[in-house]
Structure 1
Amino acid sequence: VGLRHDLAADGEQALALAGRQAYALILMDMKMEGMDGIDATRRIRRLPGYRATPIVAVTANAFAGDREQCLRAGMDDYLAKPVNRDQLFATIHKWLTVRSPA
């Protein structure tokens, strides 16, 4: 695929990484130790330059209302686990293409 990535062990680390450098897209796990994906997303959205950065929820929660909760928190899309490779690549392509200049 040719993309560079960083991994955060939890929401605090995701927030710290986002504060140090700009990312074109964030895949956000919802269930993490300490700060969860909802809170991490809300905080990242307040950082300079992250208002329009695509944030995609990746979660095992596939219950009614989970997708809406993610979108209300400021996420742009939602992937339910298990995520297959084609679905993941299609979602990444979709959001990186949306951000690319015409």
Structure 2
Amino acid sequence: MDVQMPVMDGVEATQAIREWEGAMPAVHRRLPIIAMTAHALDESRDACGQAGMDDYLAKPVEPVAVREVLKKWVVWR
């Protein structure tokens, strides 16, 4: 999730997704949301976590970092 998007930023979008998930039956899985931002500050990371994001990647994103995050959060079938 890009933190800085034009119409609705990533924090707002994540909050909306989490609210929608809360209204769904418990059988639905929680969608992993990974923040991607140019802001590597702790306050930015904290805001993402408080919004409900599960992990955080600072830009520029290295392919190996993306791979590690995906291995952590994606269930491969």
Specify if TM > 0.5: yes
Q: Deviation of residue 92 (structure 1)?
A: 0.7
Q: Deviation of residue 65 (structure 1)?
A: 1.0
1:64 paired residue number: 42
Count of residues in Structure 1 that have an aligned counterpart in Structure 2: 70
Tell me which moved more, 88-97 or 32-41: 88-97
Greater relative contact order, per chain length (Cα 8 Å cut-off, separation 6+):
2
Q: TM-score, normalised by structure 2?
A: 0.82
Write the distance in 1 (CA, Å) between the matches of 2:50 and 2:14. Answer: 10
Structure 1 unmatched ranges of 5 or more: 1-27
Q: TM-score, normalised by structure 1?
A: 0.63
Give the percent of matched residue pairs that are identical in Structure 1 and Structure 2. Answer: 44
Letter aligned with residue 10 of structure 2:
G
Q: Deviation of residue 71 (structure 1)?
A: 0.3
Instruction: Could you list the structure 1 runs, at least 4 aligned residues long, displaced by more than 4 angstroms after superposition.
Output: none
Q: Deviations over 1:50-73 (max 9, x none)?
A: 6x2110000001123111110000
RMSD over aligned Cα, in angstroms?
1.5
Structure 2 unmatched ranges of 5 or more: none
Match of 1:78 among 18, 40, 56: 56
For the pair 1:43 / 2:47, whether they are aligned, the reply is no
Write the distance in 2 (CA, Å) between the matches of 1:64 and 1:74. Answer: 16
2:74 paired residue number: 96
